[in-house]
Amino acid sequence: MSSDPHPTSAAATEGFFGWLAFLRAFWAFAGGWWRSRERWKAIAMSTALVMLTAMQVGVAVALNLWNLRFFDALEQKALDSFLTLIGVFVLIILANVGVTIAHLQTKRRLQANWRRWLTRRLMQDWMTAGRHHTLSFTPGRHDNPDGRIAEDIRIATEYAVDIGHSGLYASILLISFINILWVISGTVQMTLFGVGLSIPGHLVWVAVLYTVLATWIALRLGRPMTRAANRRQASEADFRFGLARARTHSLGIALMQGEPDERRRFLRLFHRAFRAWNRQTAALRRFFYYMSTWPLLNQIFPVLVAAPRYITGNITLGVLMQSAQAFGQVVAALSWPVDNLAKAADWRASAERARQLHDALRDLRGNGGKAGHITPMEGTADAMEFRNLVLSDAEARPLTGAIDLIIHPGERVAVTGDAALTGGMFHAAAGLWPWGHGEILLPAEGAVHFMPERPYIPLGPLHDAMCYPQAKHTCGVVSIITALTRAGLGSWADHLERSAAWDEVMSLAEQQRLGFARLLLHRPGWIVLHDATTALDPDGEQDMMRLIREARPDAAILVIGDRPSLGPQCNRTIRLERV
């Protein structure tokens, strides 16, 4: 869990160039969908969304022309035209309903499919080759990966489509209504400082100046919102992570009566989130002082601007209403940056968090750390080899001297020493400790089974947990019952179809015995144990080793960790020393 509530990046710089850098980085991270195997689906939906957006503007233009004719008919008291225009208005409504529904469906399908592709991509990178584990040892801003995948990707893709669509709509709207407003504005003659001026399309210039001034004020007031949104999302994620972690370790907390300390920790995390909320509220409050005035002014200002020409008799009532509506549409289009500022801030914050996780996983995949890279490789068919292996920490500081070890089938080898070093060797053998140098050659034949102190037992039926990671149908009920009984868990044989959080229902000793029972089902040729019997008494440890030897006498066993009762059962012992 990161304690830094202010995640930033190069793209998080304020200003135009900061946004430009962010957009380039976001497209490089998330735009691959349009270049993937699903690109034709992505292109088709994007094209349909563009066409439907243009049709939405077409409905707005039709309504503007209808305003001209309708209010002229009212002014002229033309009943026939009035009734005809009522029918036309019904058609415009029907067209608007059809376009809006089609647009909604297309946009949401685009958002959902883009999110699905990006989520799958990030989940694939995260839940592969132990990166989800190694990531926790890697420095950088990639905390709470679950929240970044589940929530930040959703916001990043949904808001990107929303903002992109509204920006396109505003652009087409601006192009369409500036032309209408320019034509109906006519040319205004005025004298300024004794100089006669002729201003064509004066309403367009008024709309531009009005919007530019309002936008400048809004942007000045809204600049702190990006930083405030970023801080709040990070602190909220830390609070969620703290709660989830306590739930995961509830037994340990209860046994140590650590609830008061956990509550204090929760309160610290919550107060951090609360302060971030207040900072965001302050930023929003300054912004909404202005935004609460803007919509009210927009309702009356267009009519006030065009009214003098109607009062002097230069235009009809229809032209007045058409001018007011066109003026409002131009202002609405030009106001797009202000209207989307808050959503853009949230989008940018979430997109940055998702991209940071992606970049961290990419670095793990490509390099693995500053100190070199250790990747277990397939070697000879009849041995597991550690060649000149040196373990380092994430800062390239060596932890061990060179380790040279060859394990042949049927051998039992114990590795003891400093807990950090033995743990590092276990993780390196499993491909989860990339820092250091040297070679680890895994046997080409026979599966390697790694058993940590606390075996992973997935949620669901016990039958599925016993077969994990294989499918349920690969393990027969009789075989499972036999394995459970031989591992000393015969009392659980009647619960195969029961679903539970087994790591909470079973004691640690029972969980470790279950791990050995799974060994009997999977029958690996190579077994690596790391403190896999810590909860068992010496007799229980020896029983489990005897169980493996009887079931797989030809299996090689590497026992990592200080377990005195297991040492005598091994052919040789190696002790790791810290350099």
**Which domains are seen in the chain, by residue range?**
16-366 (1.20.1560.10), 377-576 (3.40.50.300)
DSSP assignments along 99-148, one per residue: HHHHHHHHHHHHHHHHHHHHHHHHHHHHTSTTHHHHGGGS-SS---HHHI
Q: Are the beta carbons of 304 and 203 closer than 8 angstroms?
A: no
CA distance to 424, 445, 451, 528, per residue, from 555 (Å): 23, 12, 14, 10
CA distance to 37, 115, 154, 394, 461, per residue, from 119 (Å): 15, 6, 8, 28, 27
Helical segments of 186-223, H only: 202-222
**Contacts of residue 379, Cβ cutoff 8 Å, sequence gap at least 6:** 385, 441, 442, 443, 444
Q: At residue 543, what is the residue type?
A: D
Which stretches in the chain have pLDDT values below 50? 1-13, 368-372
pLDDT of residue 381: 62
Give the chain's end-to-end CA distance (angstroms, integer): 30
pLDDT of residue 5: 37
* Residue 434, CB-side half-sphere exposure with 13 Å CA sphere: 21
Q: Are the beta carbons of 78 and 118 closer than 8 angstroms?
A: no
Structure tokens at 102: 């089609």
CA distance to 12, 31, 54, 327, per residue, from 334 (Å): 25, 27, 17, 11
Q: Are the beta carbons of 9 and 352 closer than 8 angstroms?
A: yes
Q: Are the beta carbons of 335 and 183 closer than 8 angstroms?
A: no
Work out whether the CA dihedral 264, 266, 271, 276 comes out positive or negative: positive
Whose tokens are 């394990």? That residue is: 407
**Contacts of residue 234, Cβ cutoff 8 Å, sequence gap at least 6:** 2, 4, 5, 6, 7, 143, 276, 353
pLDDT of residue 141: 74
pLDDT of residue 258: 80
pLDDT of residue 52: 95
